[in-house]
A and B are shown apart, each in its own frame.
Chain A
């Protein structure tokens, strides 16, 4: 069984290597035809001559090299317009998006011809390898119950070299995904066979790749979670439900709704975690999308202002954080092996309260500001609007939030740092929805984590393995419920 486990690990690592290595290869050729179909008319008119002399009909051997040159051309041309003060010609599509769609369409060669084979070699092998590793556990440790033996001696779970390598890999993946998506074009193409099951005419974007990977990781690691906690019916039900929410609401519905010309929205994602809720494009799209769009808009408001407080009152904020939320779902499946790494020191808890409430204030200010601008746009379409308050543009404010909180905090730090800071870093220190629910739970909730009289023997397991970094034992020793915030 040990050898089956090791073989599984090797198979998984091979699949991961293929998945990463494909991005360093490929053949990319940009033609005038691609430019014409992929760019808007103004973009095409602006850029065709520059592309013709620099990028067109030249063969590139990686998506990165072609994208870098496209971005250079695009930025140079835009700078020329800005210098010449030709504001009507300046292009506002982010350069990384232009690069992504052009390079994506320019791909040809063996990767484009062998997508299904590569899919089986990466996702297929990866799943098989992981399951070999995970299921062999049933034979190696046949007795149900938690076994954390050696967890602080293992290089992957004690911030040892394996942990650091995992950390670099995860962080790197998130940086590429958010800021240099064109580096992952070949990985995205590998998921085309799955994307085509939903829509044969649309290719997989980096977000499809991410969403699909997210589901696969949560499913496979969810099985690991259920095996680890198979003695505990609560954890079995909880894990099943959170994986179900991810698969149905965050993935399948997002793929299926557009097929019926309905807006693709994650119905479980609530403001302020879903910080784009009052952005003008979101509201405009929802209003334009008929009854369903209006339902989604009203549902979003009811979810945040009625359902969440009521559910927190009855069940505590865990009903969302560990039963519904995708971030929590990933943390409790992929991140579960790192749960003991969360900091339980008093200063971490003080920092946590400053940070998480700070993000909530940031989110509320941004929402009020952007909501005001959206309201003006919807009410008087086409007229002059005030998009500046105290000299700050609403768009810059939004971009700052999206970059600092949406990308860096939630993605790069929140998930990339699992092997360093534990699996609930984002949820504890950054999630504005958690802060909002935390305030409700603190003052108005039936739910309390309690200790059972004199049952505590101060073994410290509860504190060591609390992924949210709560020093449970400190409360237990004082026989206090966990909302008495005075350790």
Chain B
């Protein structure tokens, strides 16, 4: 369960503890610069995963834990298989 800092009023994303999952620096850089909301980061967590192929992914668990703790309803952004194939994340 990544720790995150949720600014009470703005929901602005300010940092994340990734717990051993390698994350894309580029994407987080973009999120931080654009003052993305925590909900947006959570929904797109899978796109930020930099682990090698065939590694176990934990994004769904993280998001459902986040939802249950915060009483929110973040839906993970889904990609169909052909989008995974032709669009880089």
Contact = CB atoms under 8 A, between A and B. Distances in A.
B56 A233 contact: yes
Interface string A445-467: 01000001111000000000000
B78 interface: no
Question: Which of A234, A236, A237, A314 has the most B CB atoms < 10 Å from its CB?
Answer: A234
Nearest to B56: A233
A233 B52 CA distance: 8
Interface string A222-240: 0000000000111011000
Contact of B53 (A234, A446, A453, A454): A234
Given A446-B88, A452-B25, A234 B52 contact: yes
Interface string B1-29: 00000000000000000000011111001
A314 B55 CA distance: 19
A361 to B, nearest CB: 33
Contacts of B24: 452-453
B88 A453 contact: no
B85 interface: yes
B56 A453 contact: no
Contacts of B50: 452
Contacts of A236: 54
B25 A314 contact: no
A453 B85 contact: no
Interface of B is mostly: loop
A20 B30 CA distance: 62
B88 A233 contact: no
Given A314-B85, A452-B50, A233 B55 contact: yes
Nearest to B28: A453
Contacts of B85: 314
Nearest to B87: A446
Contact of B25 (A232, A233, A237, A453): A453
A349 B52 CA distance: 26
A455 B25 contact: yes
Contact of B29 (A232, A234, A314, A453): A453
Contacts of B26: 452-453
A232 B56 CA distance: 10
A8 B29 CA distance: 52
Interface string A125-163: 000000000000000000000000000000000000000
Interface in B19-64: 22-26, 29, 50, 52-56
Contacts of A234: 52-55
Nearest to B27: A453
Nearest to B88: A446
Interface of A: 232-234, 236-237, 314, 446, 452-455
Given A234-B52, A314-B86, A453-B26, 8 more contacts: A233-B52, A233-B55, A234-B55, A237-B54, A446-B88, A452-B50, A453-B29, A454-B25
**Which 6 pairs across A and B sit closest by C-beta, in order of nearness?**
A453-B25, A233-B54, A234-B52, A234-B54, A237-B54, A452-B50
14 contacts: A233-B56, A236-B54, A237-B54, A314-B86, A446-B86, A452-B22, A452-B24, A452-B25, A452-B26, A453-B24, A453-B25, A453-B29, A455-B22, A455-B25
